[in-house]
Amino acid sequence: QSALTQPASVSGSPGRSITISCTGTSSDIGSYNLVSWYQQHPGKAPKLIIYEGNKRPSEVSNRFSGSKSGITASLTISGLQAEDEADYYCCSYAGSRPYVFGSGTKVTVL
């Protein structure tokens, strides 16, 4: 059960947009539109920010958006803010396995 591949780090200036990629295989992201994304601040539990690829829980800012193409899912954060500095993880349903997380991306706000 190999982890989904994410870039180790992504950075951006306040107010700009950044995109985090999450690459899987035909057995997970490629087969299901069931990718979720989690934000984790240091010492805290993860928080759900995107589910089913592109849907947001009601309490999550619309600055967060998700998409998918083939075996790669993406999370875009627009209007970057200092509070967005955190670790981000993707997760895909994978059928029989049945869940696999990404390797994680540290977002730095410059």
Partner 1 sequence: EVQLVESGGGLVQPGGSLRLSCAASTFTFSSYEMHWVRQAPGKGLEWLSYISRSGDTIYYADSVKGRFTISRDNAENSLYLQMNSLRAEDTAVYYCAREASYGYSFDYWGQGTLVTVSS
Q: Is 97 a binder of partner 1 (CB under 8 A)?
A: yes
Measured CA to CA, the distance from residue 4 to residue 83 in angstroms comes to 25
Q: Is 80 a binder of partner 1 (CB under 8 A)?
A: no
Taking a C-beta distance cutoff of 8 angstroms, is the pair 47, 40 a contact?
yes
Task: Decide whether 57 or 79 has the Cβ nearer to partner 1.
Answer: 57
The SS3 call for residue 105 is: strand
Q: Which of 52, 54, 67, 85 binds partner 1 (CB under 8 A)?
A: 52
Measured CA to CA, the distance from residue 13 to residue 1 in angstroms comes to 35
Task: Decide whether 72 or 103 has the Cβ nearer to partner 1.
Answer: 103
Task: Decide whether 15 or 57 has the Cβ nearer to partner 1.
Answer: 57
